[in-house]
Homo-oligomer: A and B are copies of this chain.
Amino acid sequence: MHSVSEENYIKTIYHLQEGKNLVSTNDIAGRMSTKASSVTDMLKKLAEKNLAEYIPYKGTRLTQNGINCATQIIRKHRLWEVFLVEKLNFSWDEVHEVAEQLEHIQSRKLIDEMDQLLGFPKYDPHGDPIPDAQGNYEKITKTAVSQLEKGQKGILTGVLDTSTRFLKYLDKHQIELGTPIELIEKESFDGTCHIKTDQKEIHISKTTADNLYLKKIS
């Protein structure tokens, strides 16, 4: 259907266009570690194929067509991640790289059967929701730890950064999905957060606090 490269661009645009009206060429290039000129070339092609609208010098956004394509790729990516963790003993920091490859395998039956084998999971190992066969999924309101007020609490429901380094860091501090987190204090000058989990109290950088998403609790 679409090339691996096209699919990667579609996925990236989908993630970047959340909230925004148009996604800029540079943002795409930055996230994909490629050059702006390469992005321009691809945007023309995606527009040609009716997967994205492209307004030169302004930016791009996916068409409904492109959005459908993106959610199917995300569905595949996240189902494979569940499979790797549940069935093949991968840890949550090991799954991303392999899932990046597996998400491009083309077979409707494969992914629907996989869904069934896994018991139609709703979330992947990083807490992100898995679109169903129709592309629908629950959009959760994400509150970053860095946005909490002093004294507020929540339960970790997702992480933004899924790099191995970050996830291993969380593992080291016994922070995982479902971990309750309370903001004790926030340094105003550099955003460092003093938090308390069910295990211990630690100080985390603003970068880390930006990457931890909670469901707020009373």
Report which A residues bind B (CB closer than 8 A): 84, 87-90, 94, 97-98, 101-102, 105-107, 109-110, 113-114, 117
B101 to A107, Cβ gap below 8 A?
yes
Task: Contact check, B113 vs A88: say whether CB atoms are below 8 A apart.
Answer: yes
B90 contacts A109, C-beta separation under 8 Å? yes
CB distance from A111 to the nearest CB of B (A): 10
**Which one of B84, B98, B106, B109 contacts A101 once the chains associate, using CB atoms below 8 Å?**
B106
- A105 near B102 (CB under 8 angstroms)? yes
In whole angstroms, what is the CA distance A87 to B117 when docked?
7
Q: How far is the CB of A164 from chain B (nearest CB, A)?
A: 13
Partner of A88, one of B97, B105, B117: B117
Query: Using Cβ atoms and an 8 Å threshold, which residues of chain B touch A113?
Result: 88-90
B101 touches A88 (CB 8 A): no
| Bound-state Cα–Cα, A105 to B104, Å | 10
Whether A109 and B94, one on each chain, are in contact in the complex, defined by CB atoms closer than 8 angstroms, is yes
Residues of B within 8 A of A87 (CB): 117
Of B89, B94, B101, B114, the contact of A105 (CB 8 Å cutoff): B101
A98 B88 Cβ-Cβ under 8 A: no
Query: Residue on B with the closest CB to A114?
Result: B88
Residues of the B chain whose Cβ atoms lie less than 8 Å from the Cβ of A117: 87-88
A166 → B minimal CB distance (Å): 20
Do the beta carbons of A98 and B84 come within 8 Å of each other? no
Least CB distance, A209 to chain B, in whole angstroms: 32
Assembly CA distance A88 to B107 (angstroms): 12
5 extra interface residue pairs, beta carbon distance < 8 Å, beyond A87-B117, A88-B117, A90-B109: A88-B109, A88-B113, A94-B109, A101-B107, A102-B105
**Whole-angstrom CA separation of A48 from B102 in the bound complex:** 30
Identify the closest chain B residue to A101 (Cβ). B105
Which 10 pairs between the two chains have the least Cβ-Cβ distance?
A88-B113, A98-B107, A101-B105, A98-B110, A89-B113, A87-B117, A102-B105, A88-B117, A88-B114, A101-B106
